[in-house]
Amino acid sequence: MQRIRNQIVLAAILFIAATPATYAADHPLDHFFSHVHSYEASFDQVVLDSGMNVVQQSSGRLYLERPNRFRWDYDKPYKQHIVGDGKHIWVYDVDLAQVTVRSMHGGLANTPATLLAGTGNLEKNFRIKEMGRQGKLDWVQMIPRNKDGGFEDIRVGFEGTKLRQLDMIDGLGQTTRVILRDGHENRKIGKKRFTFTVPKGVDVVRQ
């Protein structure tokens, strides 16, 4: 459970908080990080071990809005909501009737997300390499210069300028893969989507 939370928070901040690198205006990285201010999509997430065997599978819908607001609603295999309101990260496990809350800064400490959320550009925080086309997607590899976050390799797949897939590989060779579908860029998202109210009778754990 905790593993999924850490991975998904990283993915969310990667989408919403990065500042653009010095790429050409038509580069998909520049398009997404410079011109996409809000984003929503359905997602399928799978965790693979070093032998590429499936360890976990989940799905749901995500909503992102710069700066620092996001929501991941897991529908399967269990209900879970992860909400970033700009100051805090709320993780609500419906079946456990428990909410975990932490500061956004503290919740992202020592991860590549911290680098992306700060000032500067992608090239300062990552070694970026074009990987070419594989099937329908054009891939970019992002190697964190700071290894403290646990991920050694992040790969982003685009179809044209549209973000389609994110692969995050940790030091043990485990891959978290997020496949996006039915995505919409710069669609207005209501503020309530990024506000979390603790349900009555639910335990709250502060970290």
Helix (H/G/I), strand (E/B), else coil: 160:
coil
The pLDDT value given to residue 7: 57
Among 30-34, 148-152, 185-189, 195-199, the minimum mean pLDDT is found in 148-152
Distance separating alpha carbons of residues 192 and 5, to the nearest angstrom: 22
SS3 annotation, 8-72: HHHHHHHHHHCCCCCCCCCCHHHHHHHHCCEEEEEEEEEEECCCCCEEEEEEEEEEEECCCEEEE
Mean pLDDT along residues 174-200: 92
DSSP class of 119: S
Mean pLDDT along residues 169-196: 91
Question: Which of 147 and 119 is assigned the larger pLDDT?
Answer: 147
Helix (H/G/I), strand (E/B), else coil: 201:
coil
**pLDDT at residue 74 is higher than 50:** yes
> Which two structure tokens, joined as six digits, stand for 143?
């190697």
The pLDDT value given to residue 26: 59
pLDDT band at 117 (very low <50, low <70, confident <90, very high): very low
The pLDDT value given to residue 8: 58
**β pairing state of 203-206 and 98-103:** parallel
pLDDT per position as a tens digit, 81-100: 988 888 888 999 999 999 99
**Domains in the chain: ranges and CATH:** 2-206 (2.50.20.10)
pLDDT band at 114 (very low <50, low <70, confident <90, very high): very low
pLDDT per position as a tens digit, 121-150: 567 777 888 899 999 999 988 887 766 656
Residue 9: is it exposed, middle or buried by C-beta count within 10 angstroms (0-12/13-18/19+)? Answer: buried
pLDDT band at 14 (very low <50, low <70, confident <90, very high): low
**pLDDT at residue 24 is higher than 70:** no
Calculate the average pLDDT of the chain. Answer: 79
Distance separating alpha carbons of residues 71 and 36, to the nearest angstrom: 16
Mean pLDDT along residues 30-46: 83
**pLDDT at residue 111 is higher than 50:** no
Residue 104: is it exposed, middle or buried by C-beta count within 10 angstroms (0-12/13-18/19+)? Answer: buried
pLDDT band at 10 (very low <50, low <70, confident <90, very high): low
Mean pLDDT along residues 23-36: 68
**pLDDT at residue 6 is higher than 50:** yes
